[in-house]
Amino acid sequence: MVVLMGVNAIAGCTRAPPSCIACIIPRSCINPEDVDEFMKQDCNESAEAVIKRLDEQHQKYKFMELNLMQKKRRLKTQVPDIKSTLDIVKHNVSKQENGKPLDTQFLLSDQVYAKASIPPTSKVSLWLGANVMLEYELQDAEALLTKNLSAANSALKQVSFDLDFLRDQYTTVEVNMARVYNWDVKRRQALASSSTVSS
């Protein structure tokens, strides 16, 4: 029996990643091309209130971005772990077929390795994380790791897409905040100039 590490959270996850987190991320609800018309709406009592609402939305987008960046970083470390574990399982399958023992070195602690000769085996134990290790037949382990690698790669692509979508949303919010602020500055200047003309 051979013990392998590196499957982690993807192993045992039979659920596919959501097809689109953009369904969960709220779209930037306003894009005021005509700010005058937008500000006349009942829900927009003042420019300060609208800017405050937009700033809250911007902060939510930034928080979601932080979470997605952490997820992307975690997936980027899991993919190589799963690949290396899959390579080891494939190597064990080939060694099992020719019946020769596998000579290797394994890590005991930082920078300390030990030599080992592993006889051909038909089983391997995969470390799933959270103090869980399961024993699999080599073919079952290879199938599980292949499935997990595929799931991790597709999740990584989806997270990248979601990050792009999220960046578009908070950029739109930033532009909207600037538009509303500029509208308010122009409105105040017009009020100031009309009050000086009337006096």
Task: Say if residue 175 is exposed, middle or buried (CB neighbours under 10 Å; 0-12, 13-18, 19+).
Answer: middle
Model pLDDT, residue 17: 40
pTM above 0.75, yes or no: no
> What is d(CA 177, CA 134) in angstroms, rounded to the nearest whole number?
53
Q: With CA atoms as reference, report the closest residue to 179 among 11, 38, 29.
A: 38
pLDDT in tens, 141-198: 999 999 999 999 999 999 999 999 899 888 989 988 998 899 899 988 988 888 777 6
Domains of the chain: 47-179 (1.10.287.370)
> What is d(CA 102, CA 123) in angstroms, rounded to the nearest whole number?
14
pLDDT in tens, 90-144: 988 888 878 888 888 888 898 899 999 888 888 999 988 888 999 999 999 999 9
Strands 123-129 and 132-137 come out as antiparallel
Task: Say if residue 50 is exposed, middle or buried (CB neighbours under 10 Å; 0-12, 13-18, 19+).
Answer: buried
Which one is predicted more confidently, 167 or 199? 167
